[in-house]
Structures are given as structure tokens and as C-alpha cells.
Copies of this chain bind each other. A is one copy, B any other.
Amino acid sequence: MTAPLHEARPAGPGRALPDTQQGMRRRNLARVMHTVSAAGPLSRAAVASRIGLTRAAVSTLVDELIRSGLLEELGPERPVRVGRGRPGSALAVSGRGPAGIGAEVGVDHLAVCAVDLRGQVRARIVRHGSNRGRSPAPVVKELTRLVRHVVAEAEREGLWPAGLAVAVPGLVAGDGRTVVRAPNLDWHDTDLGSLLPAELPLTVDNEANFGALAELWLGEGTPRDFLHVSAEIGIGAGVVVDGRLLRGKRGFAGELGHVPVRPDGPACACGGRGCLEQYAGEEAVLRAAGLEPGEDRVGLLAARATEGDEDVRRALRDAGEALGVALTGAVNLLDPESVVLGGALAGLAPWLLPSLRSELAGRTAGPACPVSVSRFGPEGPLLGAAHSVVRAVLDDPAAVAERS
């Protein structure tokens, strides 16, 4: 029963459980966890009215969750006051117990963190240094060391790892383990499952997808329908529809970088012509700006743009324009509530946004789709990965209780 933990993929609170009393119980446990997790400290009565069960039923559910160590009672010193009447006893998600381990394989860094059920980052390591062209085995070996380190640190705080989620800058197969293509790393058809320790349930996904999930779960007022655009060499988008990540048949959805912007434009590695990547991809922008590819390419662009370098600014303006054209297509197709720029794009937003927005507005009848910048910037994918494990626990607390 470790399968339901891979929740960043199948997704949806407790779906697919059989419609029997046991399944009902499990779903109700999940609903209690989600409610308490989302709405802060809450009394049993408040939970009951929110999920539509009686106080008595919620009491038994809460008892079970407290026994499992997933929920805790804050104690009589910190009651939940409502007005007149006896104050409720405050329930909160436990700060001990299971933790989600998130990891990120970036082009220029590795990062690992541990997040508890409350959403707090409890341990964190970042190692800088380029991974371009390094073969998977040594990179993953190093990543494994970092994971073990973070897990050890988390365990010292009374946490135990419930799963590992890895964000990679590339396409991931539908199995949630295999990196099909990561151009920045030059990885192809690499099964991370066989390289990582098998102790933890594993999920691998695109960084744009995890970034989108971070936005969905952690962003304040984030809608249930939006596009999260993120870029390094390639440009990827995490598409969230009705609160769920859109993956597509093979798991390749969100390949914004190869949306045609000018059908007769320059040839692209994908076989097409005039793909967005040819105008707004990292290499294209650096070339247009007259810069040499170096270590921290995004930082370099941002620095030069800040200094007022006209070539760089023009290059970014043009990239924003191309992004605007591609996003117009996406917005027409998906009708999202907003578009969020995350990952590397977040740092370049000041110079991309004006042309992007005007292009989008000019091509749209009625009010244009609002474009914002992610609050998490480059941290999004890592946080999203760790939280995906946490969400899996919230989605089926009974499965975790069995293992603890």
C-alpha cells in the first residue's frame, strides 16, 4: 500500500478508494486532515460543520488521527474561541510525524529539503555547482548524500520521511520515475528509480509541474485554473485545471517551448520552425543580447538589464513579446484565470512583463488574462516537490498510519 503515496501524479483527495464503509472512513479521515491543514487551528465542531459530518463522527475521526500522530491537540491553554459558549479545543496538524522530502536537480545546483505536515521547511541543503553534461549516476549519488543528510536532520526533530519527490528540468515519463529528456543536463531515458535509494516512495516530475503545484497549494488566492510558466534552456509550463495538474497522455503536457510563434521562423531541434524556444529560450536570449553563455546565465542577464544594457533589455523585451504570442494561444485554448511566471523567469520578469502583457492584451477580446510573478521564484519547484509528499499524506492518512 505504498502506491497511493505518489500523489503528485494521480492526485485528487482520496479518489479511487472503493465505495465501501472502509473507503468512506478513509476519505473522511482525509477530509479532516485537509480541513485542519487548510484552515489553521480548528475545533472539532468547526471541522464538523465544514465537512458536513456531525460532531460525534468528527470526534472519532480526530481521535484516530491523534492516535496516529498526524493531528495534535494544542491544549487547554490555547483554546479556539468562537463567541459565547464553551471554547473548542484547538486541533492542529502535527509538527512531528511524517515529513515530505523534496529534491531538485537544477542546471547549476542540487537542493533538498524536508517539509513537515504543517508546511514548514524543517531542513534544507543547497549545493551550488554546474551539472551540465555530468552523467546521471554521479549527480544522483551526490543527491542521495544530500537526501540522507536532510533525512537525518529531520529525524533529529522527530520527523520521519514519508516519501521523496524529485524535480528535474526535463520531460518525465508517465511512470513518474524516468527522465525521458533533459536537454540542459543532456540526460536521456534515465530511470532515477534505479539510482536512488529504494527506501522511500519516489516521485519524479518536471520542475514546471512542481512549481505549478507549489503555486496551487501555497500561493495565497491562487486560482484553480492557471498556467505556471518556467524556463531554463527549455520553456515549460505547468497547466493546472480545476485544481489538478494536466499531464497528458504521455505526461508531456505543458511543452510551451515548442509552440509555434512564427511558422516560418528558424529551425528548432524539435523538428519544427519558429518555436517559442527560438525566441525566448535561454540560448536565444543570450545570443540576441550579445552575451557569452557562462555559469549563472540568468543572474548575468538580470544584472546587465538592471545596469541599463540596451541590448540585453531589447533581447528580453523581444522574448517577452514571443512569450506573449505563445501565451495568447494557450490562454485561448485553456481559459485560465491567470498566468504565473516562475522559476528562472521570475528573476527576469521586470523586463519581460511589459511587452508580454501588451502582446497578450492586444490579442485578446475583452479583459486580458492577468499575468503575475510567482512569490516563490526559483524556490517553487523544490517546495512543490516536498509538498507533494505532504499532500499525499493528507490525501490518505490511513495509509501512513499503517506505516508509522
Q: Which residues of A contact B (CB under 8 A)?
A: 18-21, 24, 27-28, 31, 52-53, 223, 225, 237, 239, 241-242, 244, 246-263, 269-273, 275, 325-326, 328-330, 332-337, 362-365
Which residues of B sit under 8 angstroms from A252, Cβ to Cβ?
335
Could you show 14 A-B contacts with beta carbons less than 8 Å apart? A19-B24, A19-B53, A20-B53, A225-B248, A225-B249, A241-B241, A254-B333, A254-B335, A256-B333, A257-B332, A260-B325, A271-B363, A275-B363, A329-B330
Copies in the complex: 2
CB A261 to nearest CB in B, in angstroms, measures: 7
Closest 6 CB pairs of A and B: A248-B335, A272-B363, A259-B329, A253-B335, A249-B337, A255-B332
Q: Report how far A210 CA is from B389 CA in the complex, Å.
A: 37
Contacts beyond the supplied A19-B28, A252-B335: 16 A-B pairs with Cβ under 8 Å: A20-B24, A20-B52, A225-B248, A237-B333, A239-B333, A248-B335, A255-B335, A256-B333, A257-B332, A260-B261, A263-B325, A271-B364, A272-B328, A272-B363, A275-B363, A329-B333
> Given A225-B249, A364-B271, are A333 and B333 also a contact pair (CB < 8 Å)?
yes
Cβ-defined contact, A261 with B259, below 8 A: no
CB A189 to nearest CB in B, in angstroms, measures: 12
Which residues of B sit under 8 angstroms from A333, Cβ to Cβ?
237, 239, 253-256, 259, 329-330, 333-334
Cβ-defined contact, B248 with A328, below 8 A: no
Q: Report how far A277 CA is from B19 CA in the complex, Å.
A: 47
CB A15 to nearest CB in B, in angstroms, measures: 9
Which residues of B sit under 8 angstroms from A335, Cβ to Cβ?
247-255
Q: Report how far A365 CA is from B27 CA in the complex, Å.
A: 42
> Given A241-B241, A262-B262, are A249 and B329 also a contact pair (CB < 8 Å)?
no
Which residues of B sit under 8 angstroms from A27, Cβ to Cβ?
19
A260 in complex: contacting residue of B223, B256, B328, CB < 8 Å: B328
Cβ-defined contact, B363 with A270, below 8 A: yes
Cβ-defined contact, A332 with B259, below 8 A: yes
> Given A271-B362, A330-B333, are A246 and B256 also a contact pair (CB < 8 Å)?
no
Which residues of B sit under 8 angstroms from A329, Cβ to Cβ?
259-260, 326, 329-330, 333
Cβ-defined contact, A334 with B248, below 8 A: yes
> Given A325-B263, A328-B259, are A336 and B249 also a contact pair (CB < 8 Å)?
yes
Chain B CB count within 10 A is highest, among A24, A273, A325, for A325
Chain B CB count within 10 A is highest, among A19, A254, A272, for A19
Chain B CB count within 10 A is highest, among A246, A256, A335, for A335
Q: Report how far A244 CA is from B225 CA in the complex, Å.
A: 14
CB A397 to nearest CB in B, in angstroms, measures: 14
Which residues of B sit under 8 angstroms from A250, Cβ to Cβ?
335
Closest residue to A181 on the B side, CB-wise? Answer: B365
Cβ-defined contact, B258 with A332, below 8 A: yes
Which residues of B sit under 8 angstroms from A328, Cβ to Cβ?
258-260, 272
